[in-house]
C-alpha cells in the first residue's frame, strides 16, 4: 500500500484511539508521519517506520509554531494535517461550567483553528495540501447533554467549509471527517448507558473501529480525493441516514 508515499503528515491526538490509528495507517501507506499528543501517551510511536513523536498541546499557539517549524526544517514540506485531537463532556447547558466550556472550546475548536493557521503558510508556498478536520456525527445531530461538544464539532464542520472555499484556488483541500460511535479509550470511559444507546441507534448495530475512520482519513489525504473539498465524510454505520 502506497497511497501516501512521499507525503509528510502531522496527526494530532495520536496517543490513542482514532488519532493513533490514523497515524499508523498513514505510515503504512508511505507517509512520513509526525504523531503528536499533549502528554507522553504517544511517545512509543516514535521509532516505528515512518512515525515520529512530538509533544503538542493543540490549544497552545507556541506549541504549533514549534512543531511546524521543526517539521519544515527536517522535511521541507507539510502535505497533510489531520486535526484529530478532541475531548467530550456531557453537561447540559444549565450545568455546564465556564471552565468546562472553555476547555472544550480550546481543544476542539481553537486547536483546530490554530492547526490550520500554522500549516497554511507552508501549504500556500508549495501550492498543495490536504487538511482533515475531525468533527463528529454530533456536529450535525444532537444527543442529550453534550452542549459544548456539539457547539465545537459544529464549528469544526463549518470552519472546514470556510477554509475549503478560501483556499480552493491555492491547491489546498479542506474536508471534515465525521465518525459515529467508535470503540476507543474515550468512549470506553463514558457512561455505559450512553454508549449502549448510541450503538442501539446505529443501523449497523455495532460500534465502529478506529481503523475504519483511519481509512477514510487516508482517502482524504491521498490524491484519490483530488476533486473533493469542503465535504463531510461521514463514517457512522448509518446513524445520520435516519
Question: What amino acid positions are annotated as catalytic residues?
Answer: 149
| 34 beta partners | 10, 52
Angstrom distance (rounded) from CA 120 to CA 117: 6
Cβ(144)–Cβ(101) below 8 Å? no
Strand segments (E) across 6-137: 8-11, 32-37, 51-55, 80-83, 129-134
Backbone angles phi, psi at 222, to 5 degrees: -90, 170
Cβ(199)–Cβ(206) below 8 Å? yes
CB atoms within 10 A of CB 113: 17
Angstrom distance (rounded) from CA 94 to CA 154: 20
Cβ(191)–Cβ(106) below 8 Å? no
Angstrom distance (rounded) from CA 77 to CA 56: 19
Distance of CA 13 to the CA centre of its chain: 8
203's CB contacts (< 8 A; 6+ apart) are 237, 238, 239, 241, 242
Amino acid at each position: 500500500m502506497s497511497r501516501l508515499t512521499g507525503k509528510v503528515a502531522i496527526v494530532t491526538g495520536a496517543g490513542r484511539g482514532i488519532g493513533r490509528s490514523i497515524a499508523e495507517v498513514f505510515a503504512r501507506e508511505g507517509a512520513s508521519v509526525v504523531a503528536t499528543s499533549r502528554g507522553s501517551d504517544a511517545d512509543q510511536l516514535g521509532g516505528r517506520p515512518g512515525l515520529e513523536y512530538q509533544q503538542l498541546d493543540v490549544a497552545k499557539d507556541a506549541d504549533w509554531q514549534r512543531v511546524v517549524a521543526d517539521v519544515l526544517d527536517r522535511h521541507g514540506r507539510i502535505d497533510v494535517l489531520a486535526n484529530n485531537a478532541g475531548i467530550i463532556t456531557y453537561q447540559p447547558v444549565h450545568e455546564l461550567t465556564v471552565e468546562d466550556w472553555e476547555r472544550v472550546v480550546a481543544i476542539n475548536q481553537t486547536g483546530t483553528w490554530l492547526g490550520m493557521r500554522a500549516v497554511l503558510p507552508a501549504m500556500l508556498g508549495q501550492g498543495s495540501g490536504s487538511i482533515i478536520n475531525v468533527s463528529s456525527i454530533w456536529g450535525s445531530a444532537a444527543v442529550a447533554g453534550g452542549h459544548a461538544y456539539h457547539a465545537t464539532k459544529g464549528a469544526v464542520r463549518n470552519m472546514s467549509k470556510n477554509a475549503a472555499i478560501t483556499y480552493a484556488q491555492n491547491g489546498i483541500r479542506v474536508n471534515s471527517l465525521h465518525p459515529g460511535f467508535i470503540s476507543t479509550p474515550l468512549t470506553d470511559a463514558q457512561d455505559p448507558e450512553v454508549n449502549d444507546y448510541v450503538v442501539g441507534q446505529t443501523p449497523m448495530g455495532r460500534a465502529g473501529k478506529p481503523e475504519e475512520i483511519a481509512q477514510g482519513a487516508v482517502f482524504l489525504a491521498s490524491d484519490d480525493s483530488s476533486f473533493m473539498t469542503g465535504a463531510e465524510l461521514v463514517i457512522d454505520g448509518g446513524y445520520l441516514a435516519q
